[in-house]
Chains A and B, each alone.
Chain A
Amino acid sequence: MLALAAGLSLFTACGSSDVSRELGAQCQAKRDCDERCLSGEDFPSGMCTLSCETDQDCPTLSRCIDAEGGVCLYRCQVPADCEFLGTGWNCLAQERREVAGEEVLVCIGG
């Protein structure tokens, strides 16, 4: 029975990824996401994300940026870190929501 459970866990684990309805999925409208859908030139193909006030409000691998009223975006160090989001995404400095004037590198269109 343990072998069966292990096999099931392995199977379900194969379905996970860093992109989810919470953060990162492509979207056209809010219904495509858990909370909100960002669209426009800054978010090519649309991107699901969460509203935030601090970094603690965001999933791992993301930061709270002072844009669109405070949203979580994937953090990065070089443009290659954003390639998984598709074409049109870059790694650019953006102002943090919780610390005015302080910037952090995140994935955003540009």
Chain B
Amino acid sequence: MHRWLSLCAFGLLISSSALAQAEDVLASEASSEQPVPQPDARDSQEIGVVVGMALGGAVSPGGLAVDGRYLYRLSELDWLETAASFSLGSGAAECFHDRASEFVCDHGLLDGFAAEGSIGIRRYFAGQKEFRPFLRGGVGLRLLSFSGDDVLGAAVPFLLGGGVRAEVANRVLVVAEATLRGGPSLLNKSLGLEPYVSLSIGAGVEFTLE
């Protein structure tokens, strides 16, 4: 009997010691799970759409510009910005052979079609009241088409732009912006390597995601 009591007492001692150790481990794990200060996770993603006008010319398409984008917060000021952009203009034929038999295109500012995927960085700056200006830079891959001339091609434009946006309701922001694109393009119909330049101006809305 005495031996059983001694064994139980030893067992209780071991158990209590193990429990104490487990509590210590849990306590230490719990302390390591304390929330670490993060940039407000609620506001780390945004989507948006902007509609406006793209001005091209020569072999750079322009026209109605529609742009859908997704933004992901990298830091307090910088956001990763990915976008799908389209410009839809006139399909009128504007290319011809000049007197030296060279094939040239003289499209207007609002001619052609373009589709682009781009990635870049948007940086915010201090603004006034609810308005917050930003600058963006990036690079894209742009497919070009002038249907009236059967001209097709691709461009790798660098994007440089800026704008301002303001929160008009909970999680809803309006934005106005301009973006200049410039870079090399490669086109068919003996046009070859040509400079690509376009300027797009637009306004739209962006939404903060949960």
Which residues in A have some Cβ–Cβ distance to B below 8 Å? 1, 4-5, 7-8, 11-12, 14-17, 19-21, 24-27, 32-34, 45, 48, 84-86
Min CB distance A39 to B, Å, is 13
Contact of A85 among B55, B96, B99, B101 (CB under 8 A): B99
| A8–B94 alpha-carbon span in the complex (Å) | 19
Interface members, chain B 95-112 (any A CB < 8 Å): 95-101, 104-106, 109
Query: Is B96 in contact with A20, judged by CB distance below 8 angstroms?
Result: yes
Query: Is B197 in contact with A26, judged by CB distance below 8 angstroms?
Result: no
Contact of B178 among A4, A12, A21 (CB under 8 A): A4
Contact of B94 among A21, A27, A48, A86 (CB under 8 A): A21
Given A1-B178, A20-B106, are A25 and B97 neighbors across the interface (CB < 8 Å)?
yes
Query: Is A19 in contact with B96, judged by CB distance below 8 angstroms?
Result: yes
5 further interface pairs, Cβ-Cβ under 8 Å (given A19-B99, A25-B98, A26-B96): A12-B56, A12-B58, A21-B94, A21-B95, A26-B101
Chain B CB within 10 A, most for which of A1, A7, A12, A34: A12
CB neighbours (8 Å) of B98 from chain A are: 17, 19, 25-26
Interface size class of B (residues with CB under 8 A): 20 to 34
Query: Is B97 in contact with A11, judged by CB distance below 8 angstroms?
Result: no
Which residues in B have some Cβ–Cβ distance to A below 8 Å? 55-58, 93-101, 104-106, 109, 178, 180, 195, 197-199
Query: Is B199 in contact with A15, judged by CB distance below 8 angstroms?
Result: no
Contact of A8 among B55, B101, B104 (CB under 8 A): B55
Q: Name which residue of chain A comes closest to B59, CB basis.
A: A15
| A4–B162 alpha-carbon span in the complex (Å) | 12
Contact of B97 among A15, A16, A32, A84 (CB under 8 A): A32
CB neighbours (8 Å) of B94 from chain A are: 21
Query: Is A21 in contact with B93, judged by CB distance below 8 angstroms?
Result: yes
Q: Name which residue of chain A comes closest to B58, CB basis.
A: A15
CB neighbours (8 Å) of A8 from chain B are: 55, 57, 180, 197-199
Query: Is A21 in contact with B197, judged by CB distance below 8 angstroms?
Result: no
CB neighbours (8 Å) of A4 from chain B are: 178, 180, 199
CB neighbours (8 Å) of A45 from chain B are: 99, 101
Min CB distance A4 to B, Å, is 5
CB neighbours (8 Å) of B58 from chain A are: 11-12, 14-15
Query: Is A15 in contact with B105, judged by CB distance below 8 angstroms?
Result: yes
CB neighbours (8 Å) of B95 from chain A are: 21
